Structure 1
Amino acid sequence: NFISNAIRYCHPERNPVIILNSYTENDKTVLEIADNGLGIDLTKYGDKLFGMYKTFHENPDSKGIGLFITKNQIDAMGGTVTVESEPNIGTTFKIYFK
């Protein structure tokens, strides 16, 4: 979901770049997915980011269910997910595995 969103919400004025990285942080394995896409205004939408049926761009294909399901699956397996994002700069999701 994070990768398909990075493709779907790529910035129209630049070539999309998606960077996958993994490392250990505080004894947890982290998978980091970073892109240079449209980004999300976390000040405006941060509390709704993982909500069901929440969308943040005008893409007609958006259903607002992908991030909700993905986060619930990560949580159910004992992991956590964080996000850093800036509009017109890009987004970085970090998945922390148990």
Structure 2
Amino acid sequence: MEVRSRLENGGVLEVTDNGLGLTEGQQAQLFGLFQRVHTHVEGSGVGLYLVKKMVENSGGRIDVESQPGVGSTFRVYFNR
């Protein structure tokens, strides 16, 4: 896992992993409440939903880029 940050019209936090990765369909449902895309991994499907809501409530946004079998990069954009 790699974590990076930078100043760019506010702040950007990036978290990159070399995990299972996600298909486009999985990425589309990733931030939904109680949505789980990898059912063999423990979880309740609320974590990323809550992160997205907190970031959006503070005026920011979150997105993900991913490829199955390669990994994912999550980016959180914060306003100043």
Which residue of 20, 32, 53 corresponds with 2:34?
Answer: 53
Mapped to 1, the partners of 2:19 and 2:63 lie a distance apart of: 17
State the partner residue of 1:39.
21
Question: For structure 1, which runs of at least 5 residues remain unmatched after alignment?
Answer: 1-17
Match of 1:64 among 30, 45, 52: 45
Structure 2 gaps, min length 5: none
- TM-score, with normalisation over the residues of structure 2? 0.89
**C-alpha distance in 1, partners of 2:69/2:47?**
21
With normalisation by structure 1, the TM-score equals 0.74
Q: Percent identity?
A: 37
Letter in 1 for 2:60: G
CA RMSD of aligned residues (A): 1.2
Which structure would you say has the larger RCO, counting Cα contacts within 8 Å and 6 or more residues apart? Answer: 2
| 4+ long deviations beyond 3 Å | none
